[in-house]
Chains A and B, each alone.
Chain A
Amino acid sequence: MTGTGTYVYAVARSAVECPCEGVAPVRTIAGAGLVAYVSTVPLGEFGEGPLRRSLEDLDWLAVTARAHHRVVEAVAAATPTAPVRLVTVYADDAQVRDLLERRRDDFLEVLSHVTGRREWGVKAYVSPSASSSSPAIGDGHRGTGSGDPRAGDGDPRAGDGDPRAGDGVRKPGTAYLQRRQASLRGRERLRRQIAGRAEHIHAALSSLAVASCRHRAQDPQLSGRNEAMLLNGAYLVDEGRDEEFAATVGSLGGDGVEVRLTGPWAPYSFTVMEAC
């Protein structure tokens, strides 16, 4: 495929200096009181066929995502910005200008929604200590002590007994199955508690945010973490409430749940122009 296309990074109300390199040199297209940040790209790389293949190449995706992010960050640091989804490519500048005119009201609405606000990401994981704790502790002591009326009688041997007796009478296979059942029940209970924690964390943070949404939990093979991810939330927060938000995030961890804050991000999760 030959020729060039126009790659769009973001739309804002004003043109700001963008001293960064995107997927190619960055320039602006103005129209209808809006400014699109774009690059001219070769269709040999950014045409439909090449893109479908490239998007499945993690190295290409990483380089392109970071280039896109650099431009969005630079613009968002200077002016309210609506990031455009990765690899949105038009045939030429005229189509982009037409887009700004056609969707002007939508863009202005999105831009006013994100003005003075920033996106924060909050991820919650099961702490390694919680997932490895065994609820089977104490299993071997069942039936000793409390059921014996003579236990507190002063007979020195009554509460003591033979420490091997309990293990000796129980078949090892039965003990194993009982421990395993207790462990499964414990794990199920833990899982329910933890799902409840995720809901609680998301609700508490949403109440401080002007908008919120949940991304899919990250695949451990991409995130590099083995712990189960309970929550992958995004929150649009008024700039004046950043500290309050961060403090709340900090207070929601513990008791088997680790909470991580990322951001501030350009408002990627809140400019979708559809329900998030």
Chain B
Amino acid sequence: MLRRDVVADDRIPPERVALVDLLDRLLEGGVVLTGDLVLSIADVDLVRISLRTIIVSIEGDEAA
């Protein structure tokens, strides 16, 4: 029943990890640094990013 997307002995190369799973971690996780940054993603409205990327992906699907 269990389906593994990535397993320890047979790692999926970074190119094939599902982008959506990656973005969960890269946009919500990781060390958040503040201070003298040019820009940290912490400063950007993530909800707006995800909404816009969804719109872009839908438009891309329709164009394809």
Contacts and interface: CB of A to CB of B under 8 A. Distances in A.
Is chain B a partner of chain A in the same complex?
Answer: yes
Interface of A: 5, 8, 11, 43, 46-48, 51-52, 55-58, 61-62, 65-66, 68-70, 73, 82-91, 95, 98-99, 103, 107, 110, 119, 121, 215-216, 218-219, 221-224, 232, 234, 242, 246, 249-250, 253-254, 258-265, 268-274, 276
A262 B21 contact: yes
A219 B50 contact: yes
Given A55-B49, A66-B15, A271 B31 contact: yes
A267 B53 CA distance: 25
A254 B2 CA distance: 9
B16 to A, nearest CB: 10
B32 A273 contact: yes
A85 B27 contact: yes
Interface residues of B, number: 45
For the complex, would chain A's binding face be called helix, strand, loop or mixed by DSSP majority?
mixed
Interface in B9-38: 14-15, 17-33, 35-38
Interface in B33-51: 33, 35-42, 44, 48-50
Contacts of A43: 38
B26 to A, nearest CB: 4
Q: Sorted from nearest, which 5 A-B pairs have the closest CB atoms?
A: A250-B2, A268-B25, A268-B29, A85-B30, A56-B52
B6 A264 contact: yes
Nearest to A218: B20
A249 B32 contact: no
B39 A261 contact: no
B30 A268 contact: yes
A70 B29 contact: no
A261 B2 contact: yes
B39 A83 contact: no
Contacts of B15: 66
Contacts of A232: 24
A260 B50 CA distance: 23
